[in-house]
Every structure is written in structure tokens, then in C-alpha cells.
Chain A
Amino acid sequence: MPKPKKVKIKIMKRKLAITLGSLAIIASVYLFAADHIDAPGVASTSSDITDFYAFQSMDNTSNIVFVANLQGLLSPTATASASFDENVMVEFNIDTNADAIEDLVIQCTFENGQVSVYGPVAPTQMGTSSTLVAESLSVSAAITAYNQSAVIGTGNGIKVFAGPRDDPFFMDFAQYGQIIGGNATSFNDPGADTFAGSNVMSVVVEVPKSMIGGSGSINTWVTSNRKQ
């Protein structure tokens, strides 16, 4: 895993490019990732979602695990001082009847060193505005600090973790940029994982399937939302 240095070099290059005002270079190099720095309004902010995962629990097949990652491309040094934004609420949206409208939400807030999980519960508002369903608090736990063992909160059948983790995303995203930029015509073999050695701020919530529809399929998406 000899990649941390490579990532550092990339970050240095990026800083240099910013200094030079070469925004075009940034746009072409950082075109593509899972959702890392996907849009100008959220790139490199505390509400930038880098990735979203949803899968059956390995601990208990009756549960589904939701993962939201934020603030990507954190170097180990930057991770030590990284934190969740107290004004940003992460919301997992769950559509149980295939109309792409949320029927249930799981809301996560980060205040006073604690992550708090509300729901799964029917939202009081649908769409791009959200209201905290404050009476539906399910579980709280301390946010895990860098280099501490994971603090896991358990309550009402729900588990939660919040804190820095290795970015689970992998891709030769630099070479994709070269291809899109017209400087290459194919990927390399082997490729180089652009995200090796970098961290994200993760929220992991595990809930019983019985709380989110029980059987069949759900549609799900994650949003980051700023307090008004």
C-alpha cells in the first residue's frame, strides 16, 4: 500500500493549481469520483457527501446497514482535526412503495461530541426541506475521535457509529480524468487507486429490516442538510 505519498503529492498539486488560479485543471483532474467533490456548491465543505452504501448486515441478516461518508480526501494529518458540522444533518431517505418519495427517514445530528439518530420515522416534510423529528430519538453515542477505538451506540434495536474511517471507495480516478481530458485512450493495468491512504468522516447506522418495510425492495438515498 505505497499510496499515501501519492495522495499527498496530488493534494499538493491541487493546492498549487489553486494558487495559480488554474481552475480548468482542477475541473479536468477532479471530474469524477463516487460523489466526492461532485458539485461547486458543496465541494470541500462540511456537507459534501462522498459516498453512500446500503447492504445487509454481516452481523445479523435481519438488519440493513446504511453508510454515509462526508468530507473526502482527508490526509491522516487533516483527519486528526476533522469534525462533523453541528449545523449539518445527514438524512437517509427510504421509499417503500417505488415512487421515489421518502416514506421513512433516519436523521443523524452531530452536537456536543455526540451523534444522535432519529427514526426510522415518517418525515414531517418531504423533498428538499427537512424538519428534525425530535421526538423520535432512537440512539446517541459519542463521536469516535481519530485513533480511538470505535464507539458503538446501541438502542431501540439500532446501532450507530460516527467518526473518521478509511475511505472505502477505490478507483483509478486520475486515469479516468486523463481519458476524459483526451490525454489517454484507456485505463492502465494495473490501475492506481487514487483514494488509497485517504480518510472520510463516516456515519454508519444499522437498523432492523422490520423497521424499514420488512421485505421486498426499498429505494434509498442520502442527503446532507444545513440547519436554517
Chain B
Amino acid sequence: MKKTYLNKIWTVAAICTLALSTLACNDDDDTPAIPTTYTQEDQMGRPAINTVFVSSANKDQFNTTAPSAQGGAFQAAFQSQLLALNAGYTTNALGLDAATFTTVLATDVLTVSLDGTTTFFDGTNVLTGRRLADDVISVELLLIFGGPDGSANPGLTDDNVDANDKSFLSTFPYLATPW
């Protein structure tokens, strides 16, 4: 009994020493011994999805739901919100009915092509990325309000702000210097 007890003390002491020396070592080379863990607070894939389609009460929940679970949790609410914004919605310029369109939107990820042009919409390519200059809001307004051929609700399908207030750079880091 006594021997076991002593052994335990030695084991504990050895572990403590090891732990202390490990910590000391890591203080020297700045590598944390314990993994640094984080909890998600905000999230974004496509522009304006949470702000437009999620009710106030659920916005934080949407931000902390992994994309793979967002469709199941939010698609029905997205569809209700789409029809609240545009009661006359049938399909949009992509040919998507309300259920299909909101199924796409509720999983809030941005699809990006690795094979060429990357743009939200440039007249030819659709949803292959998002460039700084893409007029994403007008694209989204058109898909929400414009109907099957984009001609419905003309006063709501373009905010008539088509470009940024500063020119972007042609080289890294691409964004304009601050005001």
C-alpha cells in the first residue's frame, strides 16, 4: 500500500516536472503546448444572405451553424422570407422556383471556379466566384425581384450604384488604400 502511494507521488511529481519543463521550453520558442481552440462567431459565404433571408431572432444562430447543417435548419424560413419580399415570385432568371432557389441560398457557401473566370455574374458566367468589382447586390435584387426574364419590378432590380467609390489595384493586395 505504502509503496504504491509513494509511487503515485513520484509519478505526480514527475508529471509536474515534465509539464513545467514543457511549458518553459515553449515559452522560449513561442509554440503553445496546449492546442489553441476557437469558437465561431460570424460566418459568410455569399453576400447579404444572413441580412436578407434570416429573421432577427435567428441571425446569430445562422452565423454559428455549419454550412452543412444550414439547409436543413433554414431553407423553409428562407422560402417564407423570399415570398414575403416578393409575393409574386414564380421563378427567376436562373429558372429556379422558390423552393429550389432558397435551397441553394440556405447553404451559405461561395462556389469558386479553379478553371478560369471567377465572377458573381458578368453577363456570361454565373456564380463562379466573387470579384471586388462585381455588382453583387444588383444581381441578387434581379434574382429576387426580376421574375423569369428579369423584367418584373423594374424599380427594385437595380440599386443604381454600379461601382466602388475608389479604383481597385491591379496587383496584390487589390483593395484600394483606406480613406
**Min distance, Cβ B49 to any Cβ of chain A, angstroms:** 8
Give the residues from 114 to 163 in chain B that come closer than 8 angstroms, CB to CB, to chain A. 114-119, 128-132, 135-137, 154-156, 158-163
Interface mask (B41-81 → A, CB under 8 Å = 1, otherwise 0): 11111011111101010011011111110110000000000
Q: Is B112's CB under 8 angstroms from A218's CB?
A: yes
Q: Is A221's CB under 8 angstroms from B155's CB?
A: no
Contact flag A221-B67 (CB < 8 Å), given A53-B130, A198-B179: yes
Tell whether B170 is near chain A: CB-to-CB under 8 Å. yes
Contact flag A165-B50 (CB < 8 Å), given A39-B59, A39-B60, A185-B155: no
Interface residue SS majority, chain B: loop
Report how many A-B pairs have Cβ atoms within 8 Å.
289
**Min distance, Cβ B134 to any Cβ of chain A, angstroms:** 8
Q: Is B36's CB under 8 angstroms from A132's CB?
A: yes
**Min distance, Cβ B53 to any Cβ of chain A, angstroms:** 11
User: Which of A38, A58, A127, A195 contacts B174 (CB under 8 A)?
Assistant: A58
Interface mask (A37-61 → B, CB under 8 Å = 1, otherwise 0): 0111110010111011111111100
CA A169 to CA B120, docked complex, whole Å:
14
User: Which of B45, B159, B178 contacts A165 (CB under 8 A)?
Assistant: B178
Tell whether B90 is near chain A: CB-to-CB under 8 Å. no
CA A99 to CA B69, docked complex, whole Å:
10
B56 and chain A: residue at smallest CB distance: A27
Q: Is B159's CB under 8 angstroms from A215's CB?
A: no
CA A84 to CA B164, docked complex, whole Å:
24
Give the residues from 175 to 208 in chain A that come closer than 8 angstroms, CB to CB, to chain B. 175-176, 179, 185-193, 195-199, 202, 204, 206
Chain B CB count within 10 A is highest, among A42, A91, A146, for A42
Tell whether A83 is near chain B: CB-to-CB under 8 Å. no
Please classify how large the interface on chain B is, using the bins under 10, 10 to 19, 20 to 34, 35 or more.
35 or more
Contact flag A54-B130 (CB < 8 Å), given A64-B112, A130-B37: yes
**Min distance, Cβ A140 to any Cβ of chain B, angstroms:** 12
CA A125 to CA B38, docked complex, whole Å:
10
User: Which of B43, B118, B156, B172 contacts A223 (CB under 8 A)?
Assistant: B43
Q: Is B137's CB under 8 angstroms from A38's CB?
A: no
B158 and chain A: residue at smallest CB distance: A187
Q: Is B38's CB under 8 angstroms from A35's CB?
A: no
**Min distance, Cβ A23 to any Cβ of chain B, angstroms:** 11
CA A187 to CA B79, docked complex, whole Å:
24
CA A81 to CA B175, docked complex, whole Å:
20
Interface residue SS majority, chain A: loop
B→A interface (CB under 8 Å)? 31-32, 35-45, 47-52, 54, 56, 59-60, 62-68, 70-71, 107-119, 128-132, 135-137, 154-156, 158-166, 168, 170-179
**Beyond A35-B47, A47-B42, A224-B41, 5 additional pairs, beta carbon < 8 A:** A55-B132, A128-B65, A170-B165, A216-B113, A218-B111
Top 10 A-B pairs ranked by shortest CB distance? A186-B155, A39-B59, A225-B38, A161-B173, A191-B160, A41-B60, A196-B165, A221-B45, A219-B109, A165-B175
Q: List 21 A-B contacts (CB under 8 A).
A: A1-B166, A34-B44, A35-B42, A40-B60, A54-B110, A56-B118, A67-B132, A91-B38, A100-B71, A129-B38, A131-B37, A166-B164, A166-B175, A169-B164, A175-B159, A206-B172, A217-B115, A220-B45, A222-B43, A222-B45, A227-B37
A→B interface (CB under 8 Å)? 1, 3-4, 27, 31-36, 38-42, 45, 47-49, 51-59, 64-65, 67, 76, 79, 88-89, 91, 93, 95, 99-101, 124-132, 134, 146-147, 150, 152, 159, 161, 164-166, 168-172, 175-176, 179, 185-193, 195-199, 202, 204, 206, 209, 212-228
